[in-house]
């Protein structure tokens, strides 16, 4: 069966420090991968998504970046965190290639709660 793990679950970082959130999917190949951010009590903002290794689409210009060094690994990074980067970060995957009967349903990780002080 497929599983998704993201870590760390919780972190507190000072302004200006770097960030690395990691997400790994197991039990499937060539998944679509996504990073979302949810501010407190708000909706999910799509940050990045990837349909293959080295293919990253950025949705919101900001100080965050994403990389996909391996087929089932998705990393969210920042060189210098801002206060506004605080939030709940969710990694998700879906079956790649949804032109058929796949719905494209997202499977979410447990989330990473980031507090920037």
Q: Which stretch binds other proteins (CB under 8 A): 10-18, 20-28, 49-57, 73-81?
A: 49-57
Q: Does 29 bind other proteins (CB under 8 A)?
A: no
Q: Shortest approach of other proteins to residue 17 CB, angstroms?
A: 24
User: b or e along 75-92 (b: 16 or more beta carbons within 10 Å of the residue's beta carbon)?
Assistant: bbebeebeeebbbebbbb
Contact 5, 28 (CB under 8 A): no
- By beta-carbon proximity to other proteins, the closer residue of 46 and 53 is 46
According to DSSP, the β-strands at 10-13 and 19-26 are: unpaired
Backbone φ, ψ for residue 84 (5° rounding): -70, -5
The site for other proteins (CB under 8 A) is made up of 32, 34, 36, 42-46, 49, 51, 57, 59, 88, 90, 92, 94, 96, 98-99, 103-108, 110-111
């Amino acid at each position: 069966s497929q599983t998704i793990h993201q870590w760390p679950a919780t972190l507190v970082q000072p302004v200006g420090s770097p960030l690395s959130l990691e997400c790994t999917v197991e039990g499937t190949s060539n998944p679509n991968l996504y990073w979302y951010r949810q501010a407190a009590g708000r909706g999910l903002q799509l940050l990045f998504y990837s349909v293959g290794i080295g293919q990253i689409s950025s949705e919101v210009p900001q100080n965050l970046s994403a990389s996909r060094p391996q087929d089932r690994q998705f990393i969210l990074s920042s060189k210098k965190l801002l206060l506004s980067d605080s939030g709940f970060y969710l990694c998700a995957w879906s079956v790649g290639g949804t032109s058929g009967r796949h719905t494209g349903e997202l499977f979410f990780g447990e989330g990473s709660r980031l507090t920037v002080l």
